[in-house]
Amino acid sequence: MDTVKIIKNGGSQAVRIPARYRIRGTVALIKKIPGGVAILEKSDAWVQFQNGLDLFSDDFFKGGRDLKSKR
């Protein structure tokens, strides 16, 4: 894991991201997580959706789904 220097910029903080962690585009997503923050590339939502679908195995619903109502 690499380290970066935190720079004070007015009332905010900034970090210089090393070139090997380059983020495409001019806008990124940031989220506070336990113990720090995560910075993610902001990309087209449909691309993210498609990439998520690719994570499911081909037999994900092979056995069907149990949709019985609990009324």
Start-to-end CA distance of the chain, whole Å, equals 52
The C-alpha atoms of residue 42 and residue 30 are separated, in whole angstroms, by 9
What are the structural domain ranges in the chain? 6-53
pLDDT tens track, the chain, 71 positions: 889 999 998 999 999 999 999 988 888 888 898 999 988 888 777 777 777 888 888 887 777 777 776 66
Contact 27, 40 (CB under 8 A): no
